[in-house]
Amino acid sequence: MKVLLSLVLCFGIVAPAGALEAIGEIRANLDDEELNWQVLRQDDGSAMVQITDIGPLTMIDLHALGDGSISIGLIFHGKPSRDTSPAGLTIDMRPDRGAMAGTVWESEDEPPRMQIDLLELAGEGRIRADFSAVLCRRDAADDCRNIQGRIDSSLGATP
């Protein structure tokens, strides 16, 4: 209910609350605080996931809302698969509660790690993966926290 209320407040003018469908979730533990986010799709098929091919690179940008917001960006050389580690990985988080609320936390100095269990781009697409990172405040780079989490989401193509 908390997530739906946040979404209504964020998207209420643009789309009616019934037009949003959860297609996946991201769960994480940030210094022993449990956080949850939903990856959403609207009735028109647009989702909070973008897959872009640029020459030999494939980029997957995944955004989710719930306990604030989280964005995970993956870059692959060639065709992405569960057997291919991302060549680039970034995580940005904006929590909306607790001591860390109101600021941007990002993976800058130490590269995040990801173990991909499933990555399918065909059809609706799907990703299941575990991740971990050290996230530091954008406005105070010496304030850093450990995050560990799990992604289980459709990649948003309309079935």
Give dist(CA 55, CA 78) in Å, integer: 9
Confidence of residue 123 (pLDDT cuts 50, 70, 90): confident
Determine what percent of the chain is predicted with pLDDT higher than 70.
Answer: 84
pTM for this one?
0.81
Contact status, residue 19 vs residue 40, Cβ threshold 8 Å: no
Give dist(CA 15, CA 2) in Å, integer: 18
Of residues 107 and 100, more confidence is placed in: 107
Supply 157's token pair.
């193509």
Sequence spans of domains, the chain: 19-154
Other C-beta atoms lying within 10 Å of the C-beta of residue 61: 15
- Whole-number pLDDT of residue 119: 92
Q: Give residue 14's region: left, alpha or beta (phi > 0; psi -120 to 50).
A: alpha
